[in-house]
Structure 1
Amino acid sequence: MDKAKPLPAYLVQRYEGWKATGYAENKAWYRRLADEGQRPRAMIVSCCDSRVHVTSIFGADQGEFFLHRNIANLVPPFEPEGDYHGTSAAVEYAVTALNVTHLIVLGHSSCGGVKGFHDMCKGHAPELSEGSSFVGKWISLLKPGYEKLEAKAVEITDRDLEKEAVVVSLNNLMTFPFVQEAVNSEQLSLHGLWTDIGEGSLEYYDAASDTFQPV
């Protein structure tokens, strides 16, 4: 590989600032994390969106969360046959190796991935419908959520689909045998959240009513 280049100057400056302050002031903690390994209590599956700052929302320090990010915070169903399963592998490691006690799916407002899928459904994004689109194939995981809303015969909004992306992922998590076993034995609990970026609000999924409520 002869195309990789050094970091841009602004990132180098930020790194040096962190090393001189954040790291220097907490050196013992970082070395303890390195020596003893990670013991996160929770895994959070969130969107790749740069506006969703998971650790800031919950005031988390290094070592608290096992984080996995992907387009539209989706978890695929349990399908062992296939080539690559980045999200499934992360879930497996969190549940079976790290023994997290909470698995959280965090959706958000103005999600580009969800909007892209909605546009696909309306025939407005032919480029995503092409077989060569990695994004299009991935966000198609949201199809059960769209069909659920479509069956209600109401106008479907992007916000509705953003929340359904969380529910679809929660349902898919329960198709993983090791997740189901951990949940049934009360060693693991699943949680669905949705945050409004502009308002800073947070809602949780209430399974009994199939609605999202303010935390």
Structure 2
Amino acid sequence: MLQARPLPAYLIQRFQGWKATTYQDNKAWYRRLAESGQHPRAMVISCCDSRVHVTSIFGADEGEFFIHRNVANLVPPYNPDGEYHGTSAAVEYAVTSLGVAHIVVLGHSNCGGVRGCHDMCSGHAPQLEEKSSFVGRWMDILRPGFLRIQHLPEADRPRALEKEAVLVSLENLMTFPFVQAAVEEERLTLHGLWTDTGEGGLEQYDPSRAGFVLVG
């Protein structure tokens, strides 16, 4: 692979700092994790947006979360068609192999992927309608959510659609037979969260209120 290049100097310096401090102070813990395998309590499906830092939000240690990130924290419907399904594979592994007790879908404010879906569904992003657009085809997953909020004033739609991305993903998770079975057997619980990255707020979906409510 001739195009590969050495790491930028600033990343090397950060690695060296981590190795000399955090790793050195917790060497036995890291070795124990490596030797005993991972046993995460929860899977977190979050956006790959660089502003969303799951382990910081929850103060999680290594080995605590099985984290999967993708554009707009979406889960597609169950579709065993033999094609490439990174998110579905991660969900399958978390539930059937790792036996996680919780799956958390975490949405966030000012999500670029959700904004792209809004623009595409509103007819303002024809480039995303092209079959060759990976982002567009991925955001097709969220079209049902757009249909549920399209009656809202335009200014209110993006945030509402961000929360719909969480709900659509939770709905799609239940189309996976092994997820449905684990939920019905009370071996697994599903959770929907949305965070305001600027204000540090966190909301969770409450089925009894059919909406998101502040945590804490």
The answer as to 2:73 corresponding to 1:69 is no
1:127 maps to 127
1:146 maps to 146
2:110 maps to 110
Q: 1:148 offset after TM fit, Å? A: 1.6
Q: Secondary structure at the match of 2:183?
A: helix
1:59 maps to 59
The separation in 2 between residues aligned to 1:27 and 1:163, in whole angstroms, is: 40
Number of equivalenced pairs: 213
1:81 maps to 81
Match of 2:139, as an amino acid? I
1:155 maps to 153
Match of 1:155, as an amino acid? P
Residue segments in structure 2 that go unaligned for 5+ positions in a row: none
Q: 1:121 offset after TM fit, Å? A: 1.3
Q: 1:129 offset after TM fit, Å? A: 1.0
Identity of aligned residues (%): 69
Post-superposition, which runs of at least 4 consecutive aligned residues in structure 1 deviate over 3 A?
Answer: none
Q: 1:92-111 maps to which residues of 2 (within 5 A)? A: 92-111=92-111
Match of 2:132, as an amino acid? S
2:19 maps to 19
Q: Secondary structure at the match of 2:118?
A: helix
Match of 1:130, as an amino acid? E
Q: 1:147 offset after TM fit, Å? A: 1.1
Q: 1:149 offset after TM fit, Å? A: 1.9
The separation in 1 between residues aligned to 2:52 and 2:149, in whole angstroms, is: 25
The separation in 1 between residues aligned to 2:73 and 2:63, in whole angstroms, is: 21
Q: Secondary structure at the match of 1:4?
A: coil
- Aligned-pair RMSD on alpha carbons? 0.8
1:207 maps to 207
Q: 1:208 offset after TM fit, Å? A: 2.2
The separation in 2 between residues aligned to 1:154 and 1:118, in whole angstroms, is: 12
The separation in 1 between residues aligned to 2:25 and 2:126, in whole angstroms, is: 52
The separation in 1 between residues aligned to 2:87 and 2:70, in whole angstroms, is: 8
Match of 1:129, as an amino acid? E
| TM-score, normalization by structure 1 | 0.97
The separation in 2 between residues aligned to 1:59 and 1:2, in whole angstroms, is: 39
